[in-house]
Amino acid sequence: MQSPPGIQIRPMTSEDIEQVLHIEQASFPLPWTREHFVSELEARHSFPYVAVTDGIVAGYVCLMSLFEEAQILDIAVAPEMRGRGIAQELLGHAIAVAREKEAELLALEVRVSNISAIALYERLGFVRTGLRQKYYEGREDAVLMEKRV
Ligand SMILES: CC(C)(COP(=O)(O)OP(=O)(O)OC[C@H]1O[C@@H](n2cnc3c(N)ncnc32)[C@H](O)[C@@H]1OP(=O)(O)O)[C@@H](O)C(=O)NCCC(=O)NCCS
C-alpha cells in the first residue's frame, strides 16, 4: 500500500498535547490523561510521534523501547481520518524506530473486540502470542501480539 499523501510523521511535542487528547478521548473508553502524555514526552525510553496533515494532528503512536523489547503503548487516529493508512504509517515508523533502538521484539496489547486493529497488526506481521483475561475494566480480554523487528 502507498503512503497516504501529505502525511508527515514527526516527534510529538508539548504543543501537540491538546489535539492528541482530543483524539484520545474520541478513541478510548478509558482515555489517557494529559499527565500520561506529558510523562511520555519526558521519559527517557519513550518515543511518541504524531502524524500531521496540513499542520493538524491526525493521529499518534507512543512507543517505548527498553533493551531488547519495545512496546506500542498507545495508538489512535482521529475518527474522521481513519481508513487512509495513517495508523499503518505510524506503525511502520514505530517499527523502524524500534529497530534503530536495537529492540528485537515489538509487543502490544489490544482488546479482543478490536477486530480492525488486530487485522491491521496482523497485516504488518504481528502474531498473537497470548491472552490476558479480563484485562480491560475487569471484563474484556487483551490479545497480546508481537513482531520480531
Ligand atoms: C485502530 C486505528 C488506530 C486504525 O487507524 P487507521 O488510520 O484507520 O488505520 P489504517 O487506515 O492504517 O488501516 C485501517 C483500515 O483502513 C484501510 N486502508 C488503509 N489505507 C487505505 C486507503 N488508502 N484507502 C482505503 N482504505 C485504506 C485498511 O485496509 C484498513 O482496513 P480495515 O480496518 O477495514 O481492515 C483507528 O481505528 C483508531 O484510532 N481506533 C481507536 C483506537 C484504537 O482502537 N487503537 C488501537 C488500540 S490497540
Residue 54 C-alpha to ligand 1 middle, in angstroms?
A: 20
Report helix, strand or coil for 93.
helix
Confidence of residue 114 (pLDDT cuts 50, 70, 90): very high
Residue 73 has pLDDT above 60, yes or no: yes
Residue 97 CB less than 6 A away from ligand 1: no
Residue span of the structural domain in which 90 resides: 8-107
Confidence of residue 5 (pLDDT cuts 50, 70, 90): confident
Residue 85 CB less than 6 A away from ligand 1: yes
Residue 121 C-alpha to ligand 1 middle, in angstroms?
A: 10
DSSP H helical ranges for 12-133: 17-27, 34-42, 86-100, 115-123
Average pLDDT over residues 96-112: 97
Asked, for residue 17, whether it belongs to a domain, the answer is yes
Crossing angle between the packed helical segments 17-27 and 34-42, to the nearest 10 degrees:
130
Asked, for residue 81, whether it belongs to a domain, the answer is yes
Asked, for residue 32, whether it belongs to a domain, the answer is yes
List the Cα angle 82/149/70 in 5-degree steps. 75
Residue 122 has pLDDT above 60, yes or no: yes
Asked, for residue 72, whether it belongs to a domain, the answer is yes
Number of domains in the chain: 1
Using one digit for the tens of pLDDT, what is the confidence trace for 33-61? 999 999 999 999 999 999 999 999 999 99
CATH code, 91: 3.40.630.30
Which cell numbers in the block locate residue 62? 507512543
Asked, for residue 71, whether it belongs to a domain, the answer is yes
Alpha-carbon Rg for the chain in angstroms: 15
- Is residue 87 within 8 A of residue 124, CB to CB? The reply is no
DSSP state letter for 81: G
Confidence of residue 146 (pLDDT cuts 50, 70, 90): very high
The pTM assigned to this predicted structure is 0.93
